[in-house]
A and B are shown apart, each in its own frame.
Chain A
Amino acid sequence: MNTVRWIFSLLLSMALPAMAQHHHDPTQRRPPPLAIGAAFSPAGELWIVGLDAQQHLFVQTSADAGRHWSEPRPIAIGKDKVSADGENRPKLAFGPNSYAVISYTEPLDKPYTGRIRMLRSNDDGRTFSPPFTVHRDRQIITHRFEAIAFDARGLLHTLWIDKRDLEAQLKSAATTSKPDTSKQHSKTPSAYRGAAIYRNESSDGGLSFGPDIKLADHSCECCRIALAPSPDGGLAALWRHVFAPNERDHAFALLSGPPPLEPMRASFDHWAVDACPHHGPGLAPAAAGGYHAVWFGDRAGVAQVRYGQLNADGSVRGQVRPLPDERAEHAAIQSAGAKVVIAWRSFDGQVTHWRAWVSSDDGVSFAVKELGQSADDNDHPLLVKRGEQIFALWRTSQGVRVEPIAP
């Protein structure tokens, strides 16, 4: 009889963990991911793309810059999952010839892996193709944190964080050290810092793509990539980089021409840390040439969002200034002529503030503008441009707010 009791207790002890896994208070569940992408269509409509409460991809449009919205329109993506949290979000972009594209990172089952997916339209977004993978490399590895934009010539650029070089080095190291234990390569230490930035181009709105091109080795692994128009009609990119030995500052490169041997260092916080900041930069063209940049970093123990200007080659120009809010996070930047707008969010212990720093003199001076606040869950602030107009967007669990900032 004692044996029977003992076995019963044993089986119960094994069953309890499985039972415990399912006991959560549904009211405590996190709301659906709020991260959205936004863009104005050539016709002047504001579009957003995101996930609804059931985590289905949708688009929504507004003909009056956010005062009224259409009903959400579901977008079919089969069984794809969509990363829509923090630095990873669905995005959309409009190009020439009625082209429109939606992109997202699809996380795969293996940790840290993903692929960049896209849907294309050649009827101004009225219909979209089924999703397809953008990159030629099909390994189950990291392809994440994509950025997309059409340049002034109508070329579609897609950039992403890619770990094929790290994986290759790990395999190579494993082969060199232990030729018959190929399965152990993932445990072999590598000297490769971070990940890499890869990109490709499409001249037909996503119908076909050129080869995967490496832009730079040694990017940070978990931060968004910023894109901005360059004076030659192309694009410039800014991303968090891992400078030797482990300084997580920012690097700049133009996308036209051959990849640079080394990207230009665009920030000098000297944040030496083996960590994921989850906090990518922003980039916008300056009226006087060069660029405005905004980024988060830890400089001599002070973690802040900072603003600075870059020359046309991405080198630092002038003084770096912290935003006038020590708790600012996830800042976006946009410019139109001499107008520069930086928008961010800031949690004060009770509510999240939505703020902007606005300049009318190409970044010489700024004034703070309070855009709103929310006690609800909320996304990172966005800035979108229609001609010379700049609008701030902020999605909370109550909906999407839109504020015209400039002119």
Chain B
Amino acid sequence: MNPSLPKRFSALIFGLSVLSMHAWAAPRAVETFDSKTWPQLQAELKRPAVAVFTTTDCVHCPAVIDSLTRGMRQRRLKADLTVVVMDQAPGDNDAALLSNKHYRQVDRLFAFAGQAPALRYAVDPRWRGATPYVVFMAPKTPALAVTGPPSAADFDAWVQTSSGHAGEARR
């Protein structure tokens, strides 16, 4: 047997492991956001979460996603970051969404499936579709919705509210 094979095999396994871990860290699928999704997300809320509603042509949205990711890491907040794409249906071009570097940092990635006005209404009847639309949530606490980049005060208030529900490092 070639003595270098075990080394090569180990390197291969290590490489595959790294790839695998990377794959697990990013969303693995574009999930369907239909009329039942938002109530379900609210009902199943067990720890703090933040949802960013975006579109593929929203130039302001990536910075908000990056900023929230960074802020949650810095504060070692165990919370879920969800992104909802509003102008592309699940199955339309999932590969493009899943390979988007901004979306790869989030926990769950949804896309609107159904009438956008109705889906927006279910989230907030006053919201007319401006993006980014950011909803901060924590169990047993009213949600806070922000159009555009959330302020540091918005983020801090959510962290404060969330502190009772989250203690461990997120990643």
List A residues at the B interface (Cβ < 8 Å): 7, 10-11, 13-14, 16-17, 20-26, 28-30, 85-86, 111-112, 144, 221-222, 273-279, 296, 298, 303, 327, 329, 345, 347, 349, 352, 376-378
Taking a contact as CB atoms under 8 Å apart, the answer to whether A112 and B57 are in contact is yes
Which B-chain residue is minimally distant from A345 (CB atoms)?
B117
CB of B19 within 8 Å of the partner chain: yes
State in angstroms the CA–CA spacing of A215 and B20 once bound together.
50
A303 and B126 contact, Cβ closer than 8 Å, known pairs A30-B112, A30-B114: yes
A349 and B125 contact, Cβ closer than 8 Å, known pairs A10-B16, A28-B113, A221-B59: yes
List B residues at the A interface (Cβ < 8 Å): 13, 16-17, 19-20, 23-24, 26, 28-30, 32, 34, 55-61, 87, 89-92, 94-95, 98, 100, 112-115, 117-118, 120-121, 125-126, 128-132, 147-149
Taking a contact as CB atoms under 8 Å apart, the answer to whether B87 and A274 are in contact is no
Which B-chain residue is minimally distant from A347 (CB atoms)?
B117
Taking a contact as CB atoms under 8 Å apart, the answer to whether A276 and B58 are in contact is yes
Taking a contact as CB atoms under 8 Å apart, the answer to whether A20 and B23 are in contact is no
State in angstroms the CA–CA spacing of A85 and B61 once bound together.
19
State in angstroms the CA–CA spacing of A26 and B92 once bound together.
11
B90 interface neighbour in A24, A275, A277, A303, Cβ under 8 Å? A24
Taking a contact as CB atoms under 8 Å apart, the answer to whether A329 and B20 are in contact is no
Taking a contact as CB atoms under 8 Å apart, the answer to whether B16 and A14 are in contact is yes
Taking a contact as CB atoms under 8 Å apart, the answer to whether B28 and A21 are in contact is yes
Taking a contact as CB atoms under 8 Å apart, the answer to whether B131 and A278 are in contact is yes
Taking a contact as CB atoms under 8 Å apart, the answer to whether B148 and A28 are in contact is no
Taking a contact as CB atoms under 8 Å apart, the answer to whether B130 and A111 are in contact is no
Taking a contact as CB atoms under 8 Å apart, the answer to whether A276 and B60 are in contact is yes
A274 and B20 contact, Cβ closer than 8 Å, known pairs A17-B29, A28-B32: no
State in angstroms the CA–CA spacing of A276 and B133 once bound together.
10
State in angstroms the CA–CA spacing of A221 and B130 once bound together.
12
Taking a contact as CB atoms under 8 Å apart, the answer to whether A29 and B113 are in contact is yes
Residue of A10, A221, A278 ringed by the most chain B CB atoms within 10 A: A278
A275 and B113 contact, Cβ closer than 8 Å, known pairs A13-B23, A144-B57: no
Q: Identify the 6 closest CB pairs spanning chains A and B, nearest first.
A: A30-B89, A17-B28, A20-B29, A275-B148, A347-B117, A273-B148
State in angstroms the CA–CA spacing of A275 and B117 once bound together.
18
A275 and B131 contact, Cβ closer than 8 Å, known pairs A327-B125, A347-B117, A349-B121: yes
State in angstroms the CA–CA spacing of A11 and B117 once bound together.
41
A329 and B57 contact, Cβ closer than 8 Å, known pairs A17-B28, A21-B28, A21-B29: no
Taking a contact as CB atoms under 8 Å apart, the answer to whether B130 and A16 are in contact is no
User: Chain B nearest CB: distance from A63 CB in Å?
Assistant: 32
Taking a contact as CB atoms under 8 Å apart, the answer to whether A275 and B32 are in contact is no
State in angstroms the CA–CA spacing of A20 and B129 once bound together.
29
Taking a contact as CB atoms under 8 Å apart, the answer to whether A14 and B23 are in contact is yes
